[in-house]
Structure 1
């Protein structure tokens, strides 16, 4: 059975994302347009928020011979077929890997996990740079052969953000905050024009600020969790992509809680990044549909 990675390396496979107002005929119209263009559908997922007038979402993977040459005609065919529906759609070759920049501070577990998975070819992305406000992890990144940019952040973050934008603009399709301990400004988000994914522990908002694991230990928590979400101007309130929890016991030390937290953070962030890079995440207001 072909895996997602097998499909991602096939130059004749593409993904079609469709969303908008639900109404009868969308699925059949999309399928007919693809079939008439010589495409063979190999995976299809759809969801509607309501049977009458809900929001509609569909992700289709298909194979078509000589995809690069066929794309212009296919785009025209889909445009004509869907023009009478209140929909937006996006067509992307599966082999077009997303260019990713990872931002990190001093904590390395999420960064190194992503670099390791990238090296093994487990994620459909190209990590083009690591950016940090500290130089501490430069030597850890060096063996992976990925450029490491140290951009210090002082009290006035405008200079650092200006440098970030110089590095990023036109060079990346996704930014991942792998425990980057700086607040991302609304101005930066507007300027960069690129999705940003963040990871944090799921104690928020109960244990905000410094030392959340000690605070959690003091309260006797029984679950350790993590949340990966898109970054918006409202800090940690952006659309959630993935979450997970693991159970802990009263006899666990603060250090053991931190180790458990690091494990779940790695897993949650890697899944969120992989799903985004495989075009599996569709936004709906402040929530997501993940196929």
Structure 2
């Protein structure tokens, strides 16, 4: 999934580049429409590789720098379009002012002219668009050199499945939250009603120790004494059928399964176990 803010900014940018307001401004100023089309085409080439870049930026710092360059171009393009909108407004005010020679209209323009300035006095729109195109061409070339692919991009390598084994001698600073969660786990018979199943979620950033905490709870002496049946099942981030999860659970508790078992049979076996 591409960076949310960057992807959203690009979508808005494409929308504004195709707006009637911008097209009318270009025609009125007799600017090159082909130049703008070229800019959109270059931007689209970069946009198609965003998903792959998003996936690879965590393992490749050069890809992360590449994304920063893309953001910089997008922000400059947004500034340019904002200035075009301002210049279009200034032109409208000047046109209205020339049609009305009344003192009130003249005073109104003097008041507005303090904050509505011609943005292209120091540098023309065309030269700025050409500069952005040049940057995009360099970024597109770096895309090729970095091996970024268009479309959905490459999937990250699947994580190795975890087990319940943990070396507690290498674990630090988890005692307080571990003991608190042990209390929650041991309170199930007092609080649960009927066949309700209590679920405790452990959430956090990748590498923050969620799996390690789960392993500590699974191997805790009081937890072992409290539950007569335990099972450790690792569910991959890849699409995992519920049948496969149930089979893994049954295998963990020593119950045999068959390859052609239906989900109903698996669930019945699970209930009997």
TM-score by length of 2: 0.25
Structure with the largest fraction of helix: 2
Instruction: Pick 1 or 2: higher relative contact order, CA cutoff 8 A, min separation 6.
Output: 2
Structure with the largest fraction of strand: 1
